[in-house]
Structure 1
Amino acid sequence: MNVRALLVMLLALSTPAFAQGFAGLGTDAAGYRSVEPGRTFSFPTDHGPHEGFRIEWWYVTANLEDADGNDYGLQWTLFRQALAPGEEGEGWESSALWMGHAGLTTGERHFSAEKFARGGIGQAGVVAAPFEAFIDDWALAGDVAAEQAPNGDTMANVSVNATGDDFSYAMTLRTERPPVLQGEAGYSVKSDAGQASYYYSQPFYRAEGTITVDGEEIPVTGTAWLDREWSSQPLADDQEGWDWFSLHLPGDEKLMLFQVRSEDGSSYYSGTWFTPDGTASPLANDAITMTPLGTTGIDGRIVPTQWRLEIPSRDFEIITEALNPQSWMATTFAYWEGPIRFSGTHEGKGYLEMTGYDAD
């Protein structure tokens, strides 16, 4: 990172907008663009950045397995943060700050790494077609232009790579199915007060490639999930964190569930159930129950790493188990992120992200 980018980052971290994390997700968003229902999504354009909104991310998780049946998980995330409303500007006038997170999980170990970059100077950014999202030498990139891509989707076939201390990965992700919209046609509500994001996913990737741990290359295959969200104030000011699940169900069905926790102990729930052809069934706040069953002490925090998830209307009840309960992302804004297994009325694998668990 160059000195000027470091100064920009430190200035940003000192502002009230960062009090709740990277984007100050519950702070007032005056001057930024708002999220409204009824938006029409367009691909590949929406794979690219959305100027005028305060926070945005490109987020990949993968459940992987080697030839001996050992399980692994990986995460790759790029965040775009606008430090001021309006057009971001070019070159050194850019108001964008970028942050990258990479994680790799085994049954015994968890690795994490992060990068920060200044916008406008070629150090990080996203282009919709041909698709590329990058920060320094980490990249999530498509291999064809829109007119050559399946369904015109420049993210149908992508490669993803990252390197950190003692770990790296290089994977290809492929699908023939178009992206799917979360919530009500891509409008994802996060609170009773109406805070929301625009949100779509690609949960049907097949993954293949190699991971490297302490210099040992391990061929792996599995499934991967992409999430894309952008907003300016996705949380209410009294919400302090969330628990998010992406689940690969039998028969190639997919399920996303989350709860956003408030300071008074209440939660707002949401989810979407996808059939194998991508048909979406949104799940209402009162349709979902999430119950923590077991906890793990991590970095001075008590984090729930075993859960019961229930959707009575669908005769759905599972218990999740973390592949590695110590899957702590020791990044500037720390959180839990790792692969899970689940059993009950349905069996499979998935990913869990948990934020807002403060140290005692």
Structure 2
Amino acid sequence: MNVKHCAIRLRAALGLAGVLALSALLAGCDKPAEAPRSGFAGLGADAAAFALVERGKPLRFPADHGPHDGYRIEWWYVTANLKDASGKDWGVQWTLFRSALRPGAEVQGFGSPNVWMGHAGLTSPGGHRYAETLARGGIGQAGVTAAPFRAWIDDWQLHTTGGRDIDQLSMQAAGKDFSYQLQLSTNRPLVLHGDGGYSEKSGLGQASYYYSQPFYTVTGDIVVDGNTVPVTGTAWLDREWSSQPLAATQQGWDWFSLHLDSGAKLMLFQVRQTDGPPYRAGTWIAADGTPRALRGDQIQLDPGASSRQDTGRKVPTQWRVRVPDMQVDVTAEAAQPRAWMGTSFPYWEGPVRLTAGQGGAPAGRGYLEMTGY
């Protein structure tokens, strides 16, 4: 397939999560157009050539903070719920995706198998802004080192400033009319999702390795339209890597990372099916950091009001979130309903406010990501 045809396919991939589509479609440019397709977005066509996710394989730190040669896709993902001195809500997203065109270790020069994509988002009291940058591996423009930890693409940075592993981080990014410089700190252990970090994404064996650090406190500055705004708050880092995370009948996901006012944290997701009910899973994280894996039958996610984005798409920006076993029954509502990331592979990503009970008492804050709409 030639470059022009690849570009057409890339622009046509509306509704797929950015890194998944990037991996599948770029890989499609390296093989004949008539190659058989199976699995989500073609990932199953040659996934056996990439490393497989296996239950029972222990995660190792600090090595797993770095890139994983042989796996097709992975990401370093930070979301932050922030407030300024007047109590107004702000939200920040920093993401670096690595996508492999073929299995193999990183090499210097354009023979590198990796491509990189960075996304930065800022949700302010006045609206939502985003930026995107792309890079080819092997030339120093983007990359990750595990120890000391550093992730970068161009001048966007997420790197350690001391402490153990990733306990203390500095994070910065900039778009044409915004930037942020934030300091993240925690003394809590990492949280492994699923079965010791083995996170299933369907009932057919699709899975990823997945861990988080949901206990960061944040200080720093946001600059928007030339004005500097000091902010404080909380942040959540997600790390995930795989080679075939979704099945052919799965069309997108809804993903929640929630900071409850009780001190507990809650990660929930559902992967929507074309042939039946969604696949759901999650993790309850007690205030002391102890995790408990949640099955799909323990989770209820019901969309409420929808909001039309600038593109014309409508997405549900209000959800009722229930986990009866954990006495959770809250409404998650977007702080800014129009938080569309109009990147090469578009999706919705933004902060949410949590309320509980008929009176809508504040219950926490968090982030919501929605793809495939």
TM superposition score normalised by structure 2: 0.88
Q: Secondary structure, in 3 states, of the residue corresponding to 1:22? A: helix
Matched, 1:49 2:67: yes
Aligned to 2:367: 351
Over 3 Å counting, the alpha-carbon distance change for 1:330 and 1:128 in structure 2 is same
Over 3 Å counting, the alpha-carbon distance change for 1:328 and 1:46 in structure 2 is same
Post-superposition CA distance 1:86-111 (Å, at most 9, x none): 33433221010000000000132100
Aligned to 2:100: 82
**1:279-298 aligned within 5 A:** 279-298=290-309
Aligned to 1:229: 240
Which of 302, 322, 338 is matched with 2:314 structurally?
Answer: 302
- Aligned-residue Cα RMSD (Å) equals 1.8
Aligned to 1:158: 169
Post-superposition CA distance 1:110-154 (Å, at most 9, x none): 00000000101100000011110000000101123xxxx33xx2x
Letter in 1 for 2:273: S
Post-superposition CA distance 1:262-308 (Å, at most 9, x none): 12352000000011222110000111111001101111211000000
Matched, 1:334 2:346: yes
* In structure 1, distance between residues paired with 2:180 and 2:209: 29
* In structure 2, distance between residues paired with 1:175 and 1:186: 20
Q: Alpha-carbon deviation of 1:311?
A: 1.1
Which of 82, 85, 100 is matched with 1:64 structurally?
Answer: 82
Aligned to 1:5: none
* In structure 2, distance between residues paired with 1:127 and 1:163: 22
Post-superposition CA distance 1:50-106 (Å, at most 9, x none): 000000000000000011001000000000000012334332210100000000001
**1:195-344 aligned within 5 A:** 195-298=206-309, 299-344=311-356
Determine what percentage of the aligned residue pairs are the same residue. Answer: 56
Q: Secondary structure, in 3 states, of the residue corresponding to 2:22? A: coil
* In structure 2, distance between residues paired with 1:216 and 1:209: 14
Name the stretch that deviates more: 313-322 or 133-142: 313-322
Post-superposition CA distance 1:223-242 (Å, at most 9, x none): 00000000000011111100
Gaps of 5+ in 2: 25-38
**1:143-154 aligned within 5 A:** 143-144=161-162, 149-150=163-164, 153=165
**1:181-196 aligned within 5 A:** 181-196=192-207
Letter in 2 for 1:163: A
Given that 1:260 and 1:267 are in contact with CA atoms closer than 8 Å, whether structure 2 keeps it comes out as yes
Q: Secondary structure, in 3 states, of the residue corresponding to 1:251? A: coil
**1:3-42 aligned within 5 A:** 20=16, 21-24=21-24, 26=40, 27-28=43-44, 29-42=47-60
Over 3 Å counting, the alpha-carbon distance change for 1:82 and 1:67 in structure 2 is same
Aligned to 1:129: 147
* In structure 2, distance between residues paired with 1:90 and 1:206: 37
Residues paired across the two proteins, number: 342
Q: Alpha-carbon deviation of 1:9?
A: 8.5
Letter in 1 for 2:249: D
Q: Secondary structure, in 3 states, of the residue corresponding to 2:105? A: coil
* In structure 2, distance between residues paired with 1:13 and 1:185: 39
* In structure 2, distance between residues paired with 1:45 and 1:315: 36
Gaps of 5+ in 1: 1-7
Given that 1:255 and 1:272 are in contact with CA atoms closer than 8 Å, whether structure 2 keeps it comes out as yes
Aligned to 1:171: 182
Letter in 2 for 1:314: M
Aligned to 2:117: 99
Q: Alpha-carbon deviation of 1:13?
A: 5.1
* In structure 2, distance between residues paired with 1:220 and 1:326: 22
* In structure 1, distance between residues paired with 2:213 and 2:195: 16
Post-superposition CA distance 1:175-202 (Å, at most 9, x none): 0112110111101100011200000000
Q: Alpha-carbon deviation of 1:15?
A: 6.9
Q: Alpha-carbon deviation of 1:40?
A: 1.0
